[in-house]
Amino acid sequence: MTYTLALAGNPNTGKSTLFNTLTGMRQHTGNWAGKTVVRAEGEFTRSGTSYRIIDLPGTYSLYSNSADEEVARDYIIFEQPDVTIVVIDATSLERNLNLALQVLEMTNRVVVCVNLMDEAKKLGIRIDLDKMKKRLGVPVVAISARNKTGIDALFTQVELVASGALVPQPVKIPYNEDIERKIEELEPYILETLGTRYPTRWIALRLLDGDESLLQSLKANMDALPGTSQSSKEVIPHGHTVCH
Ligand SMILES: Nc1nc2c(ncn2[C@@H]2O[C@H](COP(=O)(O)OP(=O)(O)OP(=O)(O)O)[C@@H](O)[C@H]2O)c(=O)[nH]1
Ligand SMILES: [Mg+2]
Q: ipTM of the assembly?
A: 0.99
End-to-end CA distance of the chain: 44
Ligand 1, atom 12: closest residue by C-alpha: 12
Report CA(21)–ligand 2 centroid distance (Å).
12
Report CA(232)–ligand 2 centroid distance (Å).
37
Ligand 1 atom index nearest CA of 55: 20
**83 exposure class (CB count in 10 Å sphere: 0-12, 13-18, 19+):** buried
Q: Calculate what percentage of the chain has a pLDDT beyond 90.
A: 76
Report CA(4)–ligand 1 centroid distance (Å).
22
Ligand 1, atom 5: closest residue by C-alpha: 146
C-alpha 163/C-alpha 77 separation (Å) is 19
- pLDDT per residue, tens digit, the chain (244 aa), is 999 999 999 999 999 999 999 999 888 988 888 787 888 999 999 999 999 999 999 999 998 789 999 999 999 999 999 999 999 999 999 999 999 999 999 999 999 999 999 999 999 999 999 999 999 999 999 999 999 999 999 999 999 999 999 999 999 999 999 999 999 999 999 999 889 999 999 999 999 999 888 888 888 888 877 655 554 444 444 444 444 3
Ligand 1, atom 15: closest residue by C-alpha: 14
H or E element at residue 4: strand 2-8
Among 175, 97, 165, which residue's Cα sits nearest to residue 136?
Answer: 97
Please spell the DSSP secondary structure of 175-196, one letter per residue: --HHHHHHHHHHHHHHHHHHTT
The 3-state DSSP class for residue 111 equals strand
Report CA(39)–ligand 2 centroid distance (Å).
10
pLDDT for the residue numbered 239: 43
Minimum-distance ligand to the CA of 15? 1
Query: Cα Rg for the chain, rounded, in angstroms?
Result: 18
Report CA(95)–ligand 2 centroid distance (Å).
18
Ligand 1, atom 32: closest residue by C-alpha: 116
CB 31 within 8 A of CB 38: yes
**Which amino acids bring their CB within 6 angstroms of ligand 1?**
9, 11-17, 58, 115-116, 118-119, 144-146
Instruction: Assign 3-state DSSP to the chain and report helix, strand, coil percentages, each to 5.
Output: 50, 20, 35
Ligand 1 atom index nearest CA of 10: 25
Ligand 1, atom 26: closest residue by C-alpha: 14
Ligand 1 atom index nearest CA of 7: 19
H or E element at residue 7: strand 2-8
